[in-house]
Each structure stands twice: as C-alpha cells, then as structure tokens.
Structure 1
Amino acid sequence: MSLICALSNEVPEQPVVSPVSGAIFERRLIEKYIAECNVDPISNKELTVEQLIDLKVPTLTKPKPASGTSIPAILKSLQDEWDAVMLHSFSLRQQLHTARQELSHALYQHDAATRVIARLNKEVTAAREALATLKPQAGIAPAAQGPALAATADAGGAADVPAEGAGLSEDVVSKLQETATVLTQERKRRGRTAPEGLTHSETIRSFSTLASHPGLHSASVPGILALDVHQKDTSKMVTGGADKNATVFNKDTEQVVAILKGHNKKVTCVVYHPTEDTVITASPDTQIRVWNVDTSQTLQLIRAHDAPVTGLSLHATGDYILSSSLDHNWAFSDIRVGRVLCKVSDQSASSPLTAAQFHPDGLILGTGTQDAAIKIWDLKERSNVANFPGHSGAISSIAFSENGYYLATAAEDSTVRLWDLRKLRNFKTIQLDEGYEVNDLCFDQSGTYLAVAGTDVRVYLCKQWTSLREFNDHTAQATGVRFGTNAEFLASTSMDRTLKIYGS
C-alpha cells in the first residue's frame, strides 16, 4: 500500500508533518499506516499519531479559464478527448496484430520442433532395435554357445544354430528333474480340493463384460492374434498384433505399459514370464524375442527355426522356452543366453507343426501338426512316447491341465477333445457348432475350468464338461483367452482389435 504523498503542485487535504522524517503526508493515510506498522514510512523509525504536526496552508483553487466555459470550448474539449481515445484504440489494435503474428510464429516453431523430436525418437528406437538385432551377430551369442556354433557363422558373422542344437547338459537335465519333482510333490500336497478363493461356477455363469479396450494395436492393420497374462500380477497382460508389435497392458490402470517393436511380421505367439517383467514373443519372421518390459528392449534374439514359429511355451523353471514351427521341428532354448539347446524333427511326420505346449511338470511336452496328429514327447530323451489320433484338420491349440492328467486339444473339425494322460485315451469330445473355429484353449490355474476362444468365447466346467457361459461380444474371431487368479476374471482378444475383460 502506497501511503506516501508525493510533493506536487497540489497540497493534500489535512496535511501533517512527521517529525521523524520531515515528510508531509495526508493525515487520513498516515494514521492508517501508523495503525498498521507503528513506524514512519520514510525512515522506518517508530512514530505515533500524537507526534504528527498539523500544517495550516491556504486552499488553492484553479479556476477554469474563461474560454473553457462556453459551449464551443466544451465541444472542442470533447472532440479532443474523442480523438485521444481513437488514437489510443488504434495503437492497441496495432499492438494486438503484432502480438498475434509473434504468437503464430512461435506456435509454428513449436510444431516444427515437436515434429523433429518425434522423428529423432523414431530414429533412436529404430537404431536400438537394429542394435539389439545385431548383438548375436557381434559375437555375444557365439561366445555363449561355444566354438562349435561359432564355427558355423556365416560370412556376415552371424552363427546359425545347428539343427541338432547344443544338446541337454547334465546340469540342465538335473535342473529339469528337480523342478518336476518339486511340482509333483506340491500337486500331491494340494490334493484334489479346489483352492481357497476360487471363483464359484455360479459366479462365472453371471460374468459380464467389464471393459473393452480397442486401442492397444494399430487400427490400420487390425487384429490381435495372441494373449497371455502374468501369473503373479494378473493386472498385467501382453497381446500380439497383426501390426508387428506386442503390447503390455495394465487392466487395473487401463494404461499401456510398453509397446515392443522389433518383429518384421505379425506377432502370433506371446508368453508373459510368471515371476519377472519379461515377455517372449514369436512371429512368422522366424524370430523368437525375449523382451525387458521396463526398457521395451530385446534381451535375446533366438533363431531356432527356418520357417514361421507357430507355438511358444515357457518351462516351469522360467529359464527355457519351447517353440514349434512350420519347418517340422520343435526347439528347446535357453532364454537367459539366447541359445538353442536342442532341436528335434519328427522324422515320421511330413506335416509342419502348428502348436506346442509344456506339461506343467516340464518333463514332457505336446505338439500338434497340420495333418491332425497330436504327439507327446519325452524332453530328456527327445523321443516320441505317445500319439493321440482322432482329430481331422490342422491342430489349432493344445493345453495341459494343472492337475497333470488332462490334455485338451482343438482342430479345424470344430471339436475339443480331452485326453487322459494316464490311460492315453480320449475320454471326452466336446462337439461345437458346425463351422466353429477354435483358436485357443486355456485351463485356469486350478484345472477347474476350461476356456475356448474361437467363433465366440466359452467357459466349461471340468469333470462334468458342461458349458457355464458363452460370450458373444467380439465382432470377429476370438484369438486368445486367459483366466485371472482363481478365475476371478476372464480376458479375451479378437481380430476386431479389442481386448475384453469379463467378470462379476
């Protein structure tokens, strides 16, 4: 608050003098200032109202000139005032026009800078992807794979993994056996009772669509082709798209966590590591990529096949990946070093492999082929130990139940067949609608429910094998389906570019 009266030609009303500073003030203002601050506004020394000294001065009046009292003079004054206002308005208009031009130029520069930054970010991302692709060729993978593989490097320096792979060492076999023993004991300890908190079948009957997310992949190349859910934190899930990308999504925050770019063709298989923020993807470009979700960078690039990869399954140890391909081979690879440990070709079959899945214990695995063959393999011996005939058409999906006894398979014959691994027989066949296409099968973690994704999404109650719920919300083929913890929710993806969440 400015309370100081500047000296001018006019004398303030009720002037007073401060004996502290000698300055002249208007009494009303200086009294208010003293009441607030108790000091002189000039010298900042203590001052009271009683110390103020009144000044007695004659009142000055400035009579208007005689020429200003006539009507023409008043009109002239008004005209002068109008002219001044118009000149001021014109000046303001000029300033506004200049400010608009400067703002337009600044916005143009900002837009140009934003475009340059976006282009540079894209170039940096492409360079990082190229670097990740070149890492195995720069000597990293050959060094880990030993001289035998390094000797097979091509002229460009990239080592091609031999068809038989490096084999399973005693340490690897021992690790597989120990893991299987622990898992078998845990399964026996759990017994045949359902886990606490498992969603009741009647609750699943009342499931409805809770959310639909259409923006995970490019709209110009529509279609989500694969889905997997993190077992520990089921809010996280990964999808593979026809746009060549894999997307990590958090259903709780409804935010995209990471977009994994690097494949040259559509991403048809995805696996979310059960205990780490790591994703494994595969594509018809023959590549298998291991990703770090936090950095969206490729950790390992595995070249196990010479044709499109059709199936991926992570071993219970979390260290090895099973892959199948149209090159008639299945491969067992170490995701930590990006090395193929073994690659097996079914000499008795002439049909490409279309699906592959590990048994929960990890010592056996199943594969499906284009000519409807289902085969069970011993991983340690790499030998075919059982065959399940009965389907017609290419096998589209296979899934082992967590109880370790059941195997579910689907093919182009619109059926889902259930097999007993103890008796090696087909004990149940679910006949679907004519023309029904099954793209994915999934048991929940307790082995109580089986989900089917295809023409629609269906959930079956195991043992009775009765249908609990059908979801027809997708407008195109459903391509992937997964349960949440204790079947508290169900997620599905589709060629309609949406990820849907069902629950109660």
Structure 2
Amino acid sequence: MFCSISGTVPEEPVINRSNGQLFEKRLIEKHVQETGKDPITGEPASLEDLLPVKTNKAVKPRPSAATSIPGLLGLFHNEWDALMLESHQQRIALIQSRQELSHALYQQDAACRVIARLTRERDEARSQLENAVAVARSDLANGKRTAEVEGEEEQPAKRAGIPAEVSSEMLEHSKALSKGRKKRIMPASLATPQDIEAFSLISSHPLHKSTKGGILSIDVAQDNENLLATGGADSVVVLFDREASRIRASLTGHTKKINSVKFFKDSSLLVSASADHTARMWRANEDGSYSAAHVLTDHSDEVTAATLHATGSYFVTASLDATWAFYDIETGTCFTQVPSAGAGEGYTSAEFHPDGLILGTGTANSLVRMWEARQSKAVARFDGHKGAVRGLSFSENGYYLATAADDGVKVWDLRKLKNFKTLEAPAGTAAGAPLAVGFDFSGQNLAIGGSDARVVGVKQDWAALFSLSAALGNKGVSAVKWSHDSRHLFVGSTDHNLRIFGGDASAMAS
C-alpha cells in the first residue's frame, strides 16, 4: 500500500486480496505520471513523493459477548444501566446544589434583616440619648437635678388661683368667639357627607413599637395639617410628616404610656400627658429636634388628659388623682389645681368647650362634670353612663357634647343639659367599649373609635356614614382626629399603626 507525502492514505479499494496492493500501486503511479498531481488532494506530485506504507493485516476479533444478538442486547442493557445511573447521580447532585443555594439565600436574607434591625435600633438609641441629654439639661436648669442629688422631694409652689387678668382675658375671648360663631362661614373645601361615605384607607404607618395598647392619642398641628403628633403605649411621642411619609422626631423622656398629646398655637410647642404622673412641654429647637421645656410634676397619679384653652395661652391637665390643673403655656406655671367635686372621682378625660369658659371632665366612676373654668367651680353633672368615661368631645358650634364609656356613646344637649341620643355598637360588633370620640371642625360629623369604629352624621339623624371596621379587621381604635377640612380622618389603633382614611384612594402609600 502506498500514499503520497502531501496527501492522506486513500481508502483501500475492494479488489482481489492476492494482488490488491500491487494493482493499487500501479494505479497511483500511472495517475501521477499522467497528471503530475496527487490523486487525493489534487496537488502537484511526482513518483519520488510516494512512500510505501505497511499495514497490519491482522484484525482484532470481536468479544464473544458481541458475536450474537443476545450478547449485543446484554451489552446495550449494561450501557443503558450505566447511563441511567450516571443521570441519577447528576440529578442528586443538582438537587443538593439547589438546596445549598436556597440555604445560602435564606442566610443572606436573615443577615440583611438583622443588619436593618440593628441599624434602626442604633438610630433610635442615638435619638433617645440626645433627648435624654436635652431633658437632663432642662431639669438641671429648673433646679430639679439639685433637689434629687440632695435627696429632697420637690414641693409644689403655692397656688393663688387663676389671676384676674387671665380670667378677664378668658371672658373677653369667649365673648368674641361666641359672637363670631353665629356668623361662621364653613370653608369651601369642607368634606360633604357624600365625600365621607366614599372614604377608604389611604395609608398605614407603624409609628410605635409596642403592640400592647398601640397609639393612645393623636393631634394635628394648627399651622401645618401635614404634621401629626401621636402618643403611644411605648412611652414615646412621635412627630409624623404625613406629606413626606416619614417620622420627623421621636420624643423620649416619659417612662410610661402617653395618654394625651396636644399642639399649642403652632407646631413649635406641644404637651404630653403620661401615666408616669407627669406632663411634659416640648419645644422645637433650631435644628428641627425637640427638647423638654418643662416637666410638670403637680399630679400624684396617672395624668390622663391635656386640653388647650381657646386663647392658645393656657392648658389643663387631668389626672386619676382626682384633680385638674390649670397652666400657663409660656412659663409652665400652675395657677390652680382643683380637686374633684365628689369622692373618688379620678379623671379619665377632659376637654375645653370651644368658647373656653367651660371645662368638661369624665371620671372613672361614670360621671361627666362641667366646670366654670375661671372660678374652678362645678356647674353641671351628667349621669347615665356605665364604666369610666374614656372619651369626650365638644362640637364646634358648642351645642353638643359626645362622651364614650362602656355602654356606648352618649350625646348631650348643652342647652338643655340632658342626654338626647345614645349610639350603641351595631349588632354583631365585637365586644369592647368605645375608647375615643371626636367631632370634626364643622360639628356635623362624629368619629367613634373602639371595637366599633365608624363615622356618624349629625344631620343624617346620627346614622353611620362610613365604617372603619372592614379596613381595621379585629384591631380596635384608641384615638381619632379629623383634618381641618374633614377630608382626612387619622386613626390610632391598638396594633401601633397610624391609619389615614380619606376620599383620594389614588394617594395610597406604598
């Protein structure tokens, strides 16, 4: 057998075995002589380029297992088993790899959550430290720290009663408000009953930590409707920017739950009443933070309510120690502390009448009392409730008073000094006493909070306009507050979330 140097070995032609190699050699030589080209590649070639190639004529015999059809089937079966075993092992390896990847992803997600929680706790701790430092400086400036160091108990100053000039100011302001109220024009943007019927949940914000008691009080700044203050069972006052959907400040210093928060003339000053027997006045700093301007320690039991006088210059706190105290905002001075008119009447709620001369209080033993604030004199008493009176709200026109206790919400006519309407929970509502009531600015809509959460219309014969229960599930309502134009209702629930209801569902927060 021959092949050319430049080409490949040609395929052996099928010829007689005895003279096949010689015949093949001659054919190749003849082709090269006649054409001068390699018969395989077609490249130029000569006889000198041809080299003899020796091949082994012996052929390796087939194994005995491959010489019959059963043997071949056995080989194929073995190869198939080996292939399936290899495929099975690869599948097991794939499943193990997926499990390891899933475990790694879970670990990475858990690590991210832990990092986020630690970062949040770090920021909160820094904020608490800053507020604690500010409170300590304020206490030191007020002389409280010196008394604590010396082991002396701070003694309340002697109270001479409400000064004559303050009483005159209250009277003149009341006359002006009463005269102007008859000519009061409702703003054009005020929500109509149809708007309230179309309310829906716009957004929900978890502002406080504790789920035991949740948000107990809400107030809206008079000069900025987007700024809300909430008091929670976690002993923290939170200032929330509704427009930006963020917490602007967290005020710490109280050691127990916050029962009431109130803004004063503007958002630069607010008061909080706590179960730690104190009330605190918070003043805004230049950097936007808040610090304690005054720590009021006149009460000997839980401070349950704080309410602002119509002048914007004075406020009252009420306590379970069966006294209410009248304060000056600028100095934090307590002008008078008035004991209860009856034995054991610890106060659970309090609110000033819109004109500012009447103070309404609710007691732990089911009574509602009206006080002439200037003279600190009880002038009326409403009976009929069962259980502590937890909520109390005057209508803006000054005609009605709504109170909430274990037996539902009662509406009182202040002109006739009698109860003319009782709003009980609808049938099928989960058991639980109302915790909050609130008239809106128009005095035409009343929000009720508790296990039964709804809005009723005064001119609709006190019928329900909107129910909050579907959006809240089984979460009770412990605080309600209207926006100035009644187009939003701010609801504090027992699950520490601030929920905002309104008619613009497109503003749903993410």
Partner of 2:254: 263
Q: Which runs of 5+ in 2 are unaligned?
A: 1-119, 504-510
1:427 aligns with 2:412: no
Q: Give 2:491's aligned residue.
A: 492
1:137·1:159 contact (CA, 8 Å) conserved in 2? no
Contact 1:137/1:158, CA 8 A, preserved across alignment: no
Provide TM-score, normalisation by structure 1: 0.70
Flag the structure with larger Rg: 2
Indicate how the Cα distance of structure 1 residues 376 and 125 shifts in structure 2: closer, same or farther if over 3 A, else same: closer
Give the match's secondary structure for 1:485: coil
Quick check: 2:211–2:495 contact (8 Å CA) kept in 1?
Answer: no
Q: Is it true that 1:248 corresponds to 2:239 in the alignment?
A: yes
410, 419, 432: which is aligned to 1:417?
410
The CA deviation at 1:330 is: 1.0
Select which of 151, 154, 160 maps to 2:155: 160
Q: Which moved more, 1:217-226 or 1:426-435?
A: 217-226
Shift of 1:430: 1.1
Whether the aligned pair in 2 keeps the contact of 1:184 and 1:361 (CA below 8 Å) is yes
Give 1:118 deviation, angstroms.
9.1
Aligned partner of residue 176 in structure 2, secondary structure:
helix
For residue 403 of structure 1, report the CA deviation from its aligned partner: 0.3
Relative to structure 1, the CA distance from residue 449 to residue 115 in structure 2 (aligned partners, 3 Å threshold; closer, same or farther) is: closer
**Aligned ranges 1:131-170 → 2 under 5 Å:** 131-137=137-143, 156=151, 159-161=154-156, 165-170=159-164
- Opposite residue 486 of structure 2, the aligned amino acid is A
SS of equivalent residue, structure 2 residue 178: helix
Cα contact 1:154–1:160 (8 A) shared by 2: no
Give the equivalent residue in structure 2 for 1:211.
203
Q: How does 1:272-351 map to 2 (within 5 A)?
A: 272-293=263-284, 294-351=288-345
Partner of 1:28: none
Q: Counterpart of 1:367?
A: 361
Cα displacement (A) at 1:116: 10
Contact kept, 8 Å, 1:136 with 1:301, in 2: the verdict is no
- Quote the residue 1:452 is aligned against: 448
Aligned-residue offset at 1:320? 1.2
2:180 match: secondary structure: helix
Letter in 2 for 1:491: F
Q: TM-score normalised to the size of structure 2?
A: 0.69
Match of 2:26 in 1: none
How far apart are the structure 1 equivalents of 2:123 and 2:186? Answer: 54
- CA change 1:124–1:485 in 2 (3 A) is closer
The whole-number CA distance in structure 2 between the counterparts of 1:154 and 1:183 is: 48
Q: What is the match of residue 56 of structure 1?
A: none
Distance 1:124 1:403 in 2: 43
Residues 284 and 308, structure 1, Cα contact 8 Å, conserved in 2: yes
Alpha-carbon spacing, 1:375–1:220, altered in 2? closer, same or farther (3 Å): closer
Stretches of structure 1 that go unaligned for 5 or more consecutive residues are 1-113, 141-151
Report the count of equivalent residues: 377
Residues 118 and 503 of structure 1: is their aligned pair in 2 closer, same or farther, counting only changes over 3 Å? closer
Residue type at the aligned position of 1:417: K
CA distance in 2, matches of 1:467, 1:117: 43
d(CA) in 1 for partners of 2:328, 2:154: 16
CA distance in 1, matches of 2:367, 2:483: 31
User: Structure 1 runs of 4+ off > 3 angstroms?
Assistant: 114-125, 152-159, 219-222
- 2:82 maps to what in 1? none
Following TM superposition, by how much is the alpha carbon of 1:368 offset from its aligned partner in structure 2, in angstroms? 0.9
Identity value in percent: 35
* Cα distance in 1 for residues equivalent to 2:379 and 2:316: 17
Report the aligned-residue RMSD. Answer: 2.8
Number of the residue aligned with 1:62: none
Distance 1:117 1:436 in 2: 37
Offset of residue 133 of structure 1: 3.0
Task: Give, in angstroms, the shift of residue 182 of structure 1.
Answer: 1.6
Q: Is the contact between residue 136 and residue 158 of structure 1 (CA under 8 Å) also seen in structure 2?
A: no
Distance in 1, matches of 2:363 and 2:299, equals: 16
Residue type of the alignment partner of 2:497: T
Which secondary structure state, in structure 2, belongs to the residue aligned with residue 213 of structure 1?
Answer: strand
Deviation at 1:179, TM superposition (A): 1.4
1:387, CA displacement in angstroms?
0.7
